[in-house]
Amino acid sequence: MLSVVIITKNESAHIARCLESVAWADEIIVLDSGSEDNTVAICRRYTDKVFETDWPGFGIQKQRAVDKATQPWILSIDADEQVTPELRKKLEQAMSHTHIAGFEIPRLSSYCGRQIRHGGWWPDHVLRLFQRERGRFTEDLVHERIIVDGTVQRLTTPLLHEAFVDPNEVLHKINSYSSLGAEKLYLAGKRTTLLQAIVKGFWTFFRTYCLKAAFLDGEQGLMLAISNAEGTYYKYLKLLDMHRGKEPKA
């Protein structure tokens, strides 16, 4: 009844826990885009449906995984996410409601060892469970979405997300996602200035830390607000460089 679809690249630190948490599914599809660690070898311990491919962007890659699935329901999760036994029960119950096209799941994310309850990170409702014939990913390079034909409902049991394990991972993801975000803005014809990049970065910090109360999550809340601000600043700085003829390096 259920196909789990996952895209990977250099996810050896996370992928075993992810796959172990969904080992009960009828089918697991993994699309890897050039891992240089042992991600692929780990995945093959859990499923024989591991495919190695190029990297066209998040939306297209996730849809490629969906296109390889054979079960009527799709659960799309990231390599750094885990399905708890409690969530498994809710997913199995949800799939009995065939008149519902998809389900949003609240995502509880951790940042450098602490689960974050503020800063706009909780509850982070993401549409992840949907009927294969009634849903499709957008082709966005980053921040892709699932579009479904029909009713969407929400579950209340969270999906666990190891967003950032340590500062090294924070820096890597800031660089990668800011490059993808800049490219998306560039392709949409957006422009910016250095002043706008600075202002947007400061605003992101203020919104995360003050307006969305990340300060209630202690030092990790402060770290989160800073890294969010850095990601925004570098995204627009890279966009500025793209218009000057310099391609950002992920």
Each residue of 148-183: pLDDT tens digit?
999 999 999 999 999 999 999 999 999 999 999 999
Give me the domain span that covers residue 48: 2-163
Which among 146, 163, 180 is the end of a domain?
163
**Within this chain, do residues 93 and 198 fall inside the same structural domain, yes or no?**
no
**Within this chain, do residues 141 and 73 fall inside the same structural domain, yes or no?**
yes
Read off the CATH number of the domain in which 55 is found: 3.90.550.10
Assigned domain for 84 exists: yes
The reported pTM is 0.90
**Within this chain, do residues 141 and 229 fall inside the same structural domain, yes or no?**
no
**What six digits make up the tokens of 238?**
């890279």
Assigned domain for 250 exists: no
**Within this chain, do residues 120 and 155 fall inside the same structural domain, yes or no?**
yes
Tally of domains within the chain: 2
pLDDT of the residue at 245: 83
Residues 65 and 32: their CA atoms lie apart, in Å, by 10
Residues 41 and 52: their CA atoms lie apart, in Å, by 12
Residue % of the chain over a pLDDT of 70: 98
**Within this chain, do residues 113 and 70 fall inside the same structural domain, yes or no?**
yes
Assigned domain for 249 exists: no
Check whether 248 has a pLDDT greater than 60. Answer: no
Preceding amide of 248 cis, omega within 30:
no
The CA-CA-CA angle for residues 237, 238, 242, to 5°, reads 120
**Within this chain, do residues 53 and 159 fall inside the same structural domain, yes or no?**
yes
